[in-house]
Structure 1
């Protein structure tokens, strides 16, 4: 595991504060929880900054600058500190010795793929449910962004020391899968040679059900062609859902996504878990039988007052209480969903759901219900919902027409096959998930600085190309020559050294897009370093006339490439060797 430079220097500042306690400069036992070590806002001020004196001065009965002076005196005695000084009302800025950055290069080389890996998660089990698209057809681009965000978050949390369960909730109970079964029966009749005409409104029209109908016809012949629906509906539902889930798994695999757990809503209900959840909620007066208000905008003759079991969601800030069962006795989506979350909670320390932004209205009530149920089970656990905005597909700035093959949407498989898995994944993480996103087929494959996917991949490819050219000249990277590296090179190391801290910060915030942002900035720093050689030939990485300096710069380039690979791996993106 990598201890970040920030953690290492936080420990040094903590030791300095302990020394001041022993000197009776400050009282013993002061809380240090608010003490932070961060990059200064202005890089010209130094390498690290701490607010220790600012947050401890008042409880210590001291002036911030006086306390800062005492801390600085101790820090300046550390050989890893080139200089510590007080700024403003009492902030402390630190400049680190060059040996710190050279040692960091060696650490990257030693740790390799583990550089940046952290134990901050402390082995906590985090269940992340993502995608969970209804099993009624192939994946489309409306599912893509949440799938990538969830998968990248899972990888990030694992890298940060958590145990992660990747889960998919199969909504195989309810009206939509009944419609799916009827749609498959229509295609089954078509496969038997019947003229089915136009697909009736309300059924799924996509051609993706044609092979399902053909498979059913091959297996059952005409046994169910004219049979009553009751004879085939359950069979066709089960077979078709299975076929759709096989298709969905294959589509997700194109994106490099593989869930460990697939949970069935139908099985959940068969096991009586929603009923058990309802019983507990009733026993705590969180569910009662009542009548909902008439929907706004409807004439009273179109609405019938029906008594339903209602969850007291208004107790948790909702605008009305919500039914957990329908008038026919079947579970509402909300009723089944709260029981499903309790099932997930049985094997996890934390729950995270990745939902589309169109589900925003249900977040508060499901979080309230889960909090109540988990507390009742004696294991209250954190539960968070990440909302992901939809993606608008464009081609040259114009909206993309719908896929004729799919019937109603652009399929994920079509997009991945056109631009590639890596382009899709990285692009989905170039904006915060709650922000709107345009996916322009022309721009995402553009070879320019304005295309983050290309820009980061190009940095890695440029490094690999440089190494191949140097090897052809008989020069290899050499870590024992890093003392030859100067200010420009060490500034690049400083940027790479932020990666472990970025991992921990992104993991704590549950925001994998931070890694994509960091990689773009690191790539920009490397490209800027490279471009110095265009203006000054002596700053080029390869100097045939100076093989030792070349070897040292190659070693630096190798480690920058390693950090880029580590970051891309968290995003599920391969680092290319050439472009």
Structure 2
């Protein structure tokens, strides 16, 4: 599709044209950058329709004070036929008032662009690798994984809607000791399936019943030939088989949330392909890894048996870390950081930008992995933007009491449990109803509550209300039409103003890599729709359907349809269904 300028983009272009004219007149330097010039709604709607900080950010370059520059910008903007006034506020902000026809034209644009309204070419087709979930393949997906999974998936959809190519990636941590524990646990269930009384699950193994079907499946496929073998013989086989089955379970659980990854990268395969060795060689070649003594632990006395050990160290201090980090252990095995460094090197080969979604418990690793990617970027001659988004854990509540979970004891609530109990849409929207870095409580009762305090209900109810109104109107012989949009008044224009923000919200959320901004925006838009709806409770002339006034009814239905379209587009980005009824 050919992207059409929405209202905010059109006025940004008008303001840039005015600034270019001032540069041609010598008021602004010829090389002045307009990159920081913003066009936004005023904080107080009473101040106007649009506001710009142009004079504030360009006054220094113009060698004048902001208000003086604002007067010259405002004078040119007032000459625009669609601008009714350009008023200077505070130290130099400019508030614009537009003719109502501008908002009505945007309403028509929403209808014309439909599912593409808000879609942007901002990303210019750049490839962004978003890695999220990446849970250890040792069991079903539980609620500890849910928030990061939804945040990563919604961010991926947002970036696609904003014009990026996105690779959704899952990193399978299948090379650590926890996978050996999984293999041993699966072997125990395999023996149980063959009729052995295994008694209580030994301490340290995974006791969950989810491994029983794995054991039964392996017993059917392999027979009893591995039952009495020494561990060294069966461990590699059961490790691979258990990981395969756990990943099938994980993919199934994620599918319940509407989440599907494009790439599944294996840590074990990374090691087998020699990628960590390649990374080390490359880093040594560029003097970014050296053999040195690991410092004693800071902030506390080292253990009595601690001795300095020479290890290969990555020069992470060169990139802002507080100390250089080992990429190998004293026994020659790769540290997790060493393998992770090689993994990011691999990802960077096929992406213009990298984003990782991590749990907040990984905060201590952010600085060093950013240092590693910075090093790789420097060596490749082209900086690779890299961002790590930290996601706080979710506290589950039931009946006002915290729900305790322990994966090792087999006592945890899975994503499948959650989706079956409250529904996919509730889980997804709730996880996006707060900033990822903020603490969150997920109360089983509140998330299905039919109230304004429940964001997912409030937004879906707005869409359902609109669809119900359109159905009722159709039964009465009315249909949306744009022939008499000039009959819409101030309250309706206020709704359009809010809907018209959607394209700029999409772009600002994509730039910030913050999908939750869409959820916040949809809640505000829904609140305004409900407020307008409630006007009709006291005044029948304010209702969407005014039976004795066909032209006004058709115009308001056209407005309702457009608001529903914006809500639907936003929910689609978040992976939440826009329901037809509640």
TM-score, normalised by the number of residues in structure 2:
0.96
Contiguous gaps of at least 5 residues in structure 1: none
- For 1:139 and 1:347, how far apart are their aligned partners in 2? 28
Give the SS at the match of 2:118.
coil
Deviation at 1:395? 1.0
- For 1:522 and 1:552, how far apart are their aligned partners in 2? 19
| 2:108 match | 106
Deviation at 1:176? 1.1
Contact 2:321 2:371 in 1 (8 A): no
- For 1:314 and 1:10, how far apart are their aligned partners in 2? 42
- For 2:90 and 2:404, how far apart are their aligned partners in 1? 58
Q: Can you list the C-alpha shifts for 1:516-540, whole angstroms capped at 9, x where unaligned?
A: 0000000000000001111211101
1:487 aligns with 2:500: no
- For 1:28 and 1:285, how far apart are their aligned partners in 2? 43
Give the SS at the match of 1:573.
coil
1:498 aligns with 2:494: no
| 1:392 match | 395
Deviation at 1:297? 5.6
How do 1:283-294 residues align onto structure 2 when only pairs under 5 Å count?
A: 283-294=285-296
Give the SS at the match of 1:348.
coil
| 2:304 match | 300
- 2:533 equivalent among 530, 534, 554: 530
1:215 aligns with 2:217: yes
Deviation at 1:95? 0.5
CA spacing shift, 1:374–1:51, aligned 2, 3 Å: closer
Give aligned pairs, total: 578
- 2:137 equivalent among 122, 135, 143: 135
User: Which 10-residue stretch deviates more, 336-345 or 75-84?
Assistant: 75-84
Contact 1:277 1:373 in 2 (8 A): no
1:370 aligns with 2:378: no
- 2:422 equivalent among 393, 410, 419: 419
RMSD value over aligned CA atoms? 1.8
| 1:564 match | 567
- For 1:551 and 1:134, how far apart are their aligned partners in 2? 55
Contact 1:460 1:561 in 2 (8 A): yes
Q: Can you list the C-alpha shifts for 1:161-197, whole angstroms capped at 9, x where unaligned?
A: 0000000001111211111111111010000001111
CA spacing shift, 1:316–1:63, aligned 2, 3 Å: closer
- For 1:286 and 1:57, how far apart are their aligned partners in 2? 43
Give the SS at the match of 2:311.
strand
- 1:122 equivalent among 119, 124, 131: 124
How do 1:349-368 residues align onto structure 2 when only pairs under 5 Å count?
A: 349-368=352-371
TM-score, normalised by the number of residues in structure 1:
0.96
Deviation at 1:31? 3.3
| 1:183 match | 185
User: Which 10-residue stretch deviates more, 146-155 or 533-542?
Assistant: 533-542
| 2:326 match | 323
- For 2:5 and 2:191, how far apart are their aligned partners in 1? 64
- 2:18 equivalent among 6, 16, 19: 16
Contact 2:286 2:379 in 1 (8 A): no
How do 1:411-450 residues align onto structure 2 when only pairs under 5 Å count?
A: 411-450=414-453
Deviation at 1:406? 7.8
Give the SS at the match of 2:387.
strand
| 1:230 match | 232
1:156 aligns with 2:158: yes
Contiguous gaps of at least 5 residues in structure 2: none
- For 2:383 and 2:25, how far apart are their aligned partners in 1? 44
- For 1:404 and 1:316, how far apart are their aligned partners in 2? 37
- For 1:357 and 1:8, how far apart are their aligned partners in 2? 40
